[in-house]
A and B are shown apart, each in its own frame.
Chain A
Amino acid sequence: MTGTPRTAASRLLQNRLFLALCLACTSVAVLALAVLLVSVLVQGAPGLRWDFFSEYASRKPERAGILAPLAGSIWVCVTCMLLSLPLGVATAVYLEEFARRSRLNRFIELNVRNLAGVPSIVYGIIGLTAFGRMFGLVGAADGTPVVLGDPESFFHLELPLGQSVLAGGLTLMLVILPIVIIASQEALRAVPRGLRQSSLALGATPWQTTWQVTLPAAAPTILTGAILAMSRAVGEAAPLLVLGIPLFIASTPESLMDPFTVLPFQIYSWASRPQAAFHDLAASGIIVLLAVLLSFNALAIYLRIRLQRSTAP
């Protein structure tokens, strides 16, 4: 490709220099992670006292805690997962196991790929419009919601959903649904064809084959993907910020209709204040958030090992 022939020595030197460049670039990633973790730990570790977990947010940094956002994060993530896992897996099963090569199915497939690239804040706007305000179609003009069922009980609905846990869960569902679908599709694709074929050959219907053969074989991988998607949901602040969840809240949710706030949003609000004391709180909050994410990953590994063992011969 280059005009003049080069000596072996110069080419070996070139190779050596490029390897050095490679190592330098690779260490950038490692270094970035190390600096990030160390700086957060140094700044935030002193703030991790018991009160930090048992107190609500406060204007006084020395009294502020993360009880409300921690509880809110758990509530909204469980809701989000219960909504998006069945829907996502069902979509993946349809696309991989049932869909024929039609134009509609190719369009659905392409659509999922494109949805994965939509910024989460756009999903926030759609969540606000479709779930939070319900396009302004439901509820009285002055904003009073329509209540279905007994407001005291766990099972009741207020429409529009406003800033409730359910609205938050649905909004986050929009964000992670493409991730769940794509991960489940890959898991299903990895199941050997022979499994399906032998089941069908013995007279099982496509759905019986899917439910009793393909899905159990793909379950560990699907679950891992689902938990990674859930980590994404736990870390998302932008869509919920757009939904309009409150910053200061002195209660934990008790039903799907209750208001809530989440950890990343609390961290954002502390980090965006000028006072250094709030920055320390943000760092403590980050440690808790990262600990939650790490425990999710540990859970994913544990579940995968267990499921593989329980379905083994």
Chain B
Amino acid sequence: MNATPVTPGELALRAARRGAARPASLRDARERLIRGLLLAAAVFSVLTTATIVVTLAWETANFLRLPEVTLSDFLLGTTWSPLLGQEKHFGVWPLVSGTMLVTAVGAAFALPVGLITAVYLSEYAPPRVRATLKPVLEVLAGVPTVVYGFFALMVITPGLQSLCTALFGRPIFPGYNATGAGLAVGVMILPIVTSLSEDALRAVPRSLREGAHALGGTRFDVSVRVVVPAALSGIMASFFLAITRAIGETMIVALAAGGLAQLTFNPASETQTMTAYMVQIFLGDAPAFGVENLSSYAVAAVLFVITLALTMAGNVLLRWFREEYE
């Protein structure tokens, strides 16, 4: 990976020779110019954040100023009907609950499976098994989400339907439902959970394991009672970051979850997430400054606040973990 190219001395010597050829003042001026350019590049990322915050806040304020919208209705209302019928309602909860429902299904699948896979890879698996499994996870992580959406639509939901028909005599799940989309989201975040958790588990010092083995612990005792608790903050960080990805996931839910915004916690029902609503608006020809268009900025602002909070929490946990062991 990081093979040292030439001997350090030779590279440094080359650099020094070129440096010496220039007068010092010119060299200093160039140094300062380049430093300034690099700082400008770094500031660009801050500018991006500022643009996101200002744009979303500005357009959300415009949305809330419209006569048909009130802040209390938006934050507390339980009906989201921006398009249908005469009476428009903008209560964001149906979209938030839709997102929570899909995320919960995905997390219920991916967090335990991903963590146990990580424990296996870090504590049990022989090196050769690890060497074959890591690429599989990398490929899974690289599959575009639209492919997972297609997979949910064509394989997972029909699979659920025939399973339920065999067990209960009726399909139960409609063609678009939260479980099919949620499971596909789960498969998507599985490699994130596994690889980040595995990193955390492997960072736990050997001495802890050796101590636990010396006290007569089985491999199970060592990995589940010692290593996992020791890596807990790192594992939690992986959970947070994976859940953030699930909440922001768009193409899977746009394809497989349906388009009905309803306040429900029934995983077999059709549902609309915040992201899927934005897709619906931007695919239709909503005018640039109409109420539908502005409502999608408000939904994006809610989505941004939720994911930002989770990302920050995840990064704080990760820092705690690093401070402890690295």
Contacts and interface: CB of A to CB of B under 8 A. Distances in A.
A122 B224 contact: no
B307 A202 contact: no
A199 B45 contact: no
Contact of A216 (B5, B244, B245, B248): B5
A178 B52 CA distance: 14
A119 B296 contact: no
Contact of A190 (B2, B39, B314): B2
B102 interface: no
Given A29-B137, A267-B150, A238 B250 contact: yes
In which size bucket is the chain A interface? 35 or more
A50 interface: no
A21 B221 CA distance: 15
B248 A98 contact: no
Nearest to B219: A15
Contact of B5 (A105, A121, A136, A217): A217
A313 interface: yes
A177 to B, nearest CB: 7
A313 B7 contact: yes
B167 interface: no
B5 A177 contact: no
A228 interface: yes
B303 interface: yes
A91 B44 contact: yes
Contacts of B59: 129
Nearest to B121: A26
A23 B49 contact: no
A204 B315 contact: no
A236 B146 CA distance: 8
Interface in B13-62: 13-16, 18-20, 27, 30-31, 34-35, 37-39, 41-46, 48-49, 51-52, 55-56, 59
B117 to A, nearest CB: 5
Contact of A228 (B2, B142, B297): B142
A28 B2 CA distance: 33
Contacts of A130: 51, 55
In which size bucket is the chain B interface? 35 or more
B215 interface: no
A208 interface: yes
B140 A29 contact: yes
A279 B152 CA distance: 13
A117 B196 CA distance: 15
A192 B144 CA distance: 35
A85 B35 CA distance: 18
Contact of A208 (B18, B139, B145): B18
Contacts of A265: 146
Interface in B273-324: 275, 278-279, 282-283, 288, 296-297, 300, 303-304, 307-308, 310-312, 314-315
A242 to B, nearest CB: 5
A3 interface: no
B41 A242 contact: no
A293 B144 contact: yes
A195 B247 contact: no
Contact of A113 (B31, B43, B245, B311): B311
A43 B42 contact: no
Given A108-B46, A177-B44, A267-B147, 18 more contacts: A23-B120, A105-B42, A117-B244, A117-B248, A117-B308, A117-B314, A118-B308, A121-B300, A121-B303, A126-B52, A192-B8, A201-B12, A202-B15, A212-B15, A217-B4, A232-B142, A271-B150, A272-B254
Interface of A: 1, 11-12, 14-15, 18-19, 21-23, 25-26, 28-30, 32-33, 35-36, 39-40, 43, 86-87, 90-91, 93-95, 98-99, 105, 107-108, 110-122, 124-126, 128-130, 133, 135-136, 174, 177-178, 181, 187, 190-192, 194-195, 198-209, 212-213, 216-218, 220-221, 228, 231-232, 234-238, 241-242, 244, 264-265, 267-268, 271-272, 279, 282-283, 286, 289-290, 293, 297, 308, 311-313
